[in-house]
Chains A and B, each alone.
Chain A
Amino acid sequence: MGIRQNAVTVLFGPAGGGKSTLLRCLNRLNDLTEIKASSGRILIDGENILDPKTDVIALRRKVGMVFARPVPLPMSIRQNLTYALELAGEKRKSKLDEAVERSLKLAAIWDEVKDRLDEPAIALSGGQQQRVCLARVIALQPEVILLDEPTSGLDPISTGKVEAALLELKKEYTVILVPHSVQQAARTADYAAFFLTGELIEYGEGKSLFTVPKQKKTEDYIMGRFG
């Protein structure tokens, strides 16, 4: 399965299909859990990231992740955005400020928070928090952005804002999204992959997969016959 640059690839299917697990393999976040049985290869820029010699810190800076529940770190909005950059060694204030503004704009939240950057991030609404979390990932200038049901806890308006931000993001980044509904999958997907109980059933361009799926199982799921 190849994933296109500068496009939104959607991994969808019923719960327990291994979408999140796959996502967490892409930045080796599964290292934190007891799941150790990964075989095969995942190539990013021609390098197998499952190789034990991989620099996971560098990998995670290259492959950012947004989680289902917004988790602002217990600090100000600004610090949330600069946290990872400072750990990566960036000390110049001008660079940091620049990154804060640029990423908040890309995540479509700049106008709402520009006057309160030094307030605690937890004070924002859930939808705002999630876009700050997205901006936090963008601040690192990754190559790939992983989103694991990023709108599952959000209202339709916030969801719309996040989805609109994704359209902007894919111009610069490779986006891999686990959507929280088939509708969201259909709305956002340039490419879509259907997973069922840990197996990849079908993978193809979003438009054709959602209108004329090749596999019976994919069709059944999209039509809402199960799942």
Chain B
Amino acid sequence: MMKFLAQNRHTVQRLGFSAITLMAVVTVLPIVGTILFILFKGGSAISVEFLTGFPHDGMRAGGILPAIIGTLYLTIGTAIFSVPLGIAAAIYLAEYAKDNQWTRLIRIAIINLAGIPSVVYGLFGLGLFVLFLQFGTSILAASLTLSIMTLPVIISTSEEALRAVPQAFRTVSISLGATRWQTISRIILKEALPGILTGVILGLERAAGETAPILFTGAAFFLPRLPQSPFDATMALPYHLFVISTQVPEMPIQIQYGTALVLLVFVLTMNVIATVIRSRARARRQW
């Protein structure tokens, strides 16, 4: 055996590379498979009426407009709270914080925040926003709950993006008589922006697809009209999908897969936008 290996090094190497390539291909299969499967099963459900109409006949017919709009509202609401807070926290951690026990504690908290199961966020949101702060089951409460869940993603990717900007820019800017904040606002943030945006989009994408955090905080089983204010509950794509897949008997299967397809497209579009921003910025980057 050893002799064979020694004599056929090139063959062995080629075999090794082939095995690795095969594994890379295997990892692509599930995502491609999922997309094709959903597209195949749900494609026939997609129509103008499906995308712009209200559900009727106990949601067994009609469209899913309120769920689409609801998910849009929730995503925007989540962005309003989590983006400024997350970026501010990242700037503090990357640019101002000294490495001491206090900041280490903050970091540990952020890491742990990322590890909490989403249903726990849901319960926490129910306790804090819905009941204690009396926002009720509402877009506001659900957005705040999703924001807390999204924050660690935004903070850690933004911090990383800020740290990736060369230290020399800071030194030079300061040496030219700029203050720390001028340096951050005029140079560092601009250079880190693509990385930050990528993190923001990936975080929001996760928020848009979550069911558990909005289950007790803002999602409605069925609403005959679109939400009128942030204090209204709303239908949302992931929860609607859960409902029509488990709670409604004799549900036409293509409506389920059609809903899944819309959710998938929603999330994948955000993903593509993030990728485009990143690759464009990389081409333009001056360091």
Q: Which residues of A are at the interface with B, using a C-beta cutoff of 8 A?
A: 27, 29, 32, 57-58, 60-61, 64-65, 67, 69, 71-75, 83-84, 87-88, 120-122, 133, 136-137, 140
Contacts of B248 in A (CB 8 A): none
Question: Given A71-B169, A73-B187, A74-B187, are A27 and B175 also a contact pair (CB < 8 Å)?
Answer: yes
Partner of A122, one of B174, B175, B177, B287: B287
Contacts of B286 in A (CB 8 A): 72, 74-75, 120-122
CA distance A87 to B172 in the complex (A): 14
Q: Which residues of B are at the interface with A, using a C-beta cutoff of 8 A?
A: 166, 168-179, 182, 186-187, 190-191, 285-287
Contacts of A140 in B (CB 8 A): 176-177
Contacts of B175 in A (CB 8 A): 27, 29, 60, 64-65, 67
Partner of B176, one of A72, A75, A84: A84
Partner of A29, one of B168, B169, B171: B171
Contacts of B169 in A (CB 8 A): 71, 73-74
The total number of A-B Cβ pairs within 8 Å is 64
Contacts of B182 in A (CB 8 A): 87
- Tell me the smallest distance from the CB of B184 to a CB of chain A, in Å: 13
Contacts of A133 in B (CB 8 A): 172
Query: Is A71's CB under 8 angstroms from B176's CB?
Result: no
Contacts of A120 in B (CB 8 A): 286
- Tell me the smallest distance from the CB of A129 to a CB of chain B, in Å: 11
- Tell me the smallest distance from the CB of A125 to a CB of chain B, in Å: 15
CA distance A136 to B175 in the complex (A): 11
> In the complex, what residue of chain A is closest to B174 when comparing beta carbons?
A32
Partner of A67, one of B172, B191, B285: B172
Query: Is B168's CB under 8 angstroms from A71's CB?
Result: yes
Contacts of A83 in B (CB 8 A): 173, 176, 178, 186
Partner of A60, one of B174, B186, B287: B174
Query: Is B174's CB under 8 angstroms from A67's CB?
Result: no
Which of B169, B178, B187, B191: most chain A CB closer than 10 A? Answer: B178
Contacts of B166 in A (CB 8 A): 71
> In the complex, what residue of chain A is closest to B173 when comparing beta carbons?
A73
Instruction: Return 25 A-B CB contacts under 8 Å, by A number.
Output: A27-B175, A29-B175, A32-B174, A57-B178, A60-B177, A64-B176, A67-B172, A67-B175, A71-B166, A71-B168, A71-B169, A71-B172, A73-B169, A74-B191, A75-B286, A83-B176, A83-B178, A83-B186, A84-B177, A84-B178, A87-B178, A87-B182, A88-B177, A120-B286, A121-B286
Query: Is B177's CB under 8 angstroms from A58's CB?
Result: yes
- Tell me the smallest distance from the CB of B171 to a CB of chain A, in Å: 7
Query: Is A32's CB under 8 angstroms from B171's CB?
Result: yes
- Tell me the smallest distance from the CB of B103 to a CB of chain A, in Å: 15
Contacts of B176 in A (CB 8 A): 60-61, 64, 83-84, 87, 136-137, 140
- Tell me the smallest distance from the CB of A36 to a CB of chain B, in Å: 13
Which of A74, A88, A121: most chain B CB closer than 10 A? Answer: A74
> In the complex, what residue of chain B is closest to A29 when comparing beta carbons?
B175
CA distance A72 to B186 in the complex (A): 14
CA distance A58 to B171 in the complex (A): 16
Contacts of B191 in A (CB 8 A): 74
Contacts of B178 in A (CB 8 A): 57, 83-84, 87
Contacts of A32 in B (CB 8 A): 170-171, 174
Contacts of A87 in B (CB 8 A): 176-178, 182
